Structure 1
Amino acid sequence: MATEENETPGGETARGFRALPGPVEDRREVFAGCVAEVVRVLGLDVAQEPQPGDQRTWVQHARTALYKACRRELVLSEESFQTLIKAAVHDPDPSFNRHFLEPALNAFGHSRVQAALLGYLRAGTDLERAGAASAWYWSALPLRMPTVRAEHPAATAPAEPDGAPTVAAEWYETALREFVSNEHLDVRRRLLPGLSLRKSDWPPELHDLVDAAVAIARSHPDEYIRHRVEHQVGD
């Protein structure tokens, strides 16, 4: 039920998908505050806040500093977990939010990161729900940062008990329900690419919701959503 491997959240693909439009609301100030917290909590080698009129360059420097820190030995505190997840959720660029998500994945594990994103989808603001959907795209990345670890290994999520619904299964059902019930444009734009619209991928009790999602997308006033659903239904 995930997006295709040859697709990036913010770009075109070889299969002809249109680029995901930018957010309908300006999130730069909120995101800058999140980045400032990342810089402070992780002690990154960059100014703790941007100079007036130079926010974009400062964010790029912060991304670079985080990237370099992850190539060295980086020990992440419990506070850093929520700080990194929040920055990933509020990052307006869905192609680069992985810079904040990947260290958290390597230190705290897939289950805990995915559970945090599910929490945003269930109880966050609409902007946070949309951001969580973009961040989810990267939440199954392989762990390729062996020098990044949690300060307290017990902070990683425990294994799920046998027979319990996986976090991923809960995510996709919640995402389907949210797409149908939530009219916010960014929420629907960000959720749709990650949803399977084949009934065979869903239990029978959710088939009516799948039909509703397809109907909503096909009649939606947003061109991106109408274009996207036809590709997904035709797969």
Structure 2
Amino acid sequence: MFAQALRDLLAALGEQSPPPDWPGDLRAAARHALRGRPARDEWFAPLVRAAVYDPNPSYNRRLIEPALKAFGRRRVQAAVLDYLRTGTNAERAGAARAWYWTQAPLTYIGRSPTPTPESQAEYDAVAGLRQQWRDAALHLFVSTDDLGLRRQLLPGLDLRTAHYPAELRETVAQAIHIARTHPDEYLRHRVEQQI
């Protein structure tokens, strides 16, 4: 699926797709094709799809960053959130991997705990989407039985009950209980690192 998503992206970019047995890295070909070109709207969906389908949680950054630069954080986050809400379990897991790179980073002034006004403004501009992601990911973690999906969701889950409205605090407690008592060692270990 990922290779096909990259081939679809290359086609949208107007690039010749290498033959199926091509030994090169399709990721690199797509990234190279994106460089230095003004973005076109028809690239958006194939670019986000390729990022979501990328199985590597580090390399998908090479697709998310050009999407952020070309189309803006809000639009990219909304598309990734849509995959989380409506995708297959594999797409939802990919959305969780991609979401990490879509987040607005805070840059601090010197060694102080005060963010720069510019980074704070960018962070605040997507606060609503961040909350929607948090709520959707929490509900999905609790409701799914798919281990792979749970493994992708847990590292990005905010498990601090104070960050949720009162009506979701029991769901946070349920997520913690599921992870702590799950037969999967990774979930049991990971939850303890987060709380």
Normalising by the smaller structure, the TM-score range is 0.7 to 0.9
Match of 2:116 in 1: none
Match of 1:211 in 2: 173
Residues 12-91 of structure 1: matches in 2 within 5 Å? 30-44=1-15, 47-51=17-21, 54=22, 57-58=23-24, 60=25, 62-72=26-36, 74-91=37-54
Separation in structure 1 between the aligned mates of residue 92 and residue 80 of structure 2, nearest angstrom: 8
Structure 2 residue ranges without an equivalent (≥5): 106-125
Amino acid at match of 2:31: Y
Match of 1:129 in 2: 92
The answer to whether the Cα contact below 8 Å between 2:6 and 2:30 also exists between their aligned partners in 1 is no
Corresponding position: 1:190 with 2:147:
no
From the superposition, tell whether residues 122 and 139 of structure 1 become closer, same or farther in structure 2 (CA, over 3 Å). Answer: same
Separation in structure 2 between the aligned mates of residue 221 and residue 114 of structure 1, nearest angstrom: 32
Corresponding position: 1:99 with 2:99:
no
TM-score by length of 1: 0.70
TM-score by length of 2: 0.83
Deviation, structure 1 residue 105: 0.8
From the superposition, tell whether residues 103 and 141 of structure 1 become closer, same or farther in structure 2 (CA, over 3 Å). Answer: farther
Deviation, structure 1 residue 47: 3.9
The answer to whether the Cα contact below 8 Å between 1:42 and 1:76 also exists between their aligned partners in 2 is no
Cα-to-partner distance string for 1:73-95 (whole Å, 9 max, x where unaligned): x1222221000110011111111
Among 180, 188, 195, the alignment partner of 1:226 is 188
Match of 2:82 in 1: 119
Structure 1 residue ranges without an equivalent (≥5): 1-29, 143-163
Q: Which protein, 1 or 2, shows the higher relative CO under an 8 Å CA cutoff with sep ≥ 6? A: 1
Corresponding position: 1:178 with 2:148:
no
Among 163, 168, 181, the alignment partner of 1:201 is 163
Amino acid at match of 1:137: Y
Separation in structure 2 between the aligned mates of residue 221 and residue 38 of structure 1, nearest angstrom: 39
Aligned residues: 175
Identity %: 49
Aligned-CA RMSD value: 1.9
The answer to whether the Cα contact below 8 Å between 2:10 and 2:33 also exists between their aligned partners in 1 is no
From the superposition, tell whether residues 80 and 117 of structure 1 become closer, same or farther in structure 2 (CA, over 3 Å). Answer: same
Deviation, structure 1 residue 41: 1.1
